[in-house]
Amino acid sequence: MWILQFAKEYDRIEHQYVKWGGCSLIHFYPENRNRKVTEMSERTLHILTDSFWKILLPGLKVTLPLTAIAFAMALVIAIFVALIQFANVKVLKQIARVYIWVIRGTPLIVQLYLVFYGISGLGYLINPFVCAAFVLAINEGAYCAETMRAALEAVPVGQLEAGYCAGMKYHQIIRRIVLPQAMRTAFPPLSNSLLSMMKDTSLVASITVAEMFMAAQRIVARTYEPLLVYTEVALMYLVFSTVLTGLQHLGEKRLNRYRGTKKAVSR
Partner 1 sequence: MIKGIHKDFGEGEVLKSVDLSVEKGDVIAILGPSGSGKTTLLRCMNFLETADGGTMCFDGEEFTFGHIKKKDIARLRKKTAFVFQNYNLFLNKTALQNVTEGLTVARKMPKAKAVAIGHKMLDKVGLSDRYDYYPHQLSGGQQQRVAIARAIATEPEIIYFDEPTSALDPELTGEVLEVMRQLAGDGMTMLVVTHELGFAKTVSNKVIFMEGGVVVEEGNAKDIFECPKQERTREFLRLA
Q: Select 121 or 158, whichever has its Cβ closest to partner 1.
A: 158
- Distance, in Å, from the CA atom of 115 to the CA atom of 131, rounded to the nearest integer, reads 7
CA–CA separation, 71 and 64 (whole Å):
10
Longest dimension (CA), the chain: 89
Q: How far is the CB of 184 from partner 1 (least distance, A)?
A: 8
Task: Write the single-letter amino acid at 22.
Answer: G
The least CB distance from residue 252 to partner 1, in Å, is 15
Please state the closest distance from residue 145 (CB atom) to partner 1, in A. 22
Nearer to partner 1, 91 or 157 (CB): 157
Is residue 250 a contact partner of residue 256, using CB atoms and an 8 Å limit? Answer: no
Distance CA 144, CA 134 (A): 15
- Closest approach of partner 1 to the CB of residue 161, in Å: 5
CA-to-CA distance for 144 and 100, rounded, in angstroms?
A: 10
DSSP secondary structure, 204-224, as one string:
GGGGT---HHHHHHHHHHHH-
CB of 187 to partner 1, least distance (A): 13
Contacts of 59 (CB under 8 A, 6+ apart): 211, 212, 215, 236, 240
**Of 53 and 164, which CB lies nearer to partner 1 in the complex structure?**
164
Minimum CB distance to partner 1, residue 258 (Å): 4
Instruction: Closer to partner 1 by CB, 59 or 163: give it.
Output: 163
Residue 197: closest CA among 253, 138, 118 = 138
Nearer to partner 1, 122 or 157 (CB): 157
In the complex, the residues that contact partner 1 under the rule CB under 8 A are: 156, 158-159, 161-169, 172, 176-177, 180-181, 184, 257-260
**Residue with smaller CB distance to partner 1, 30 or 260:** 260
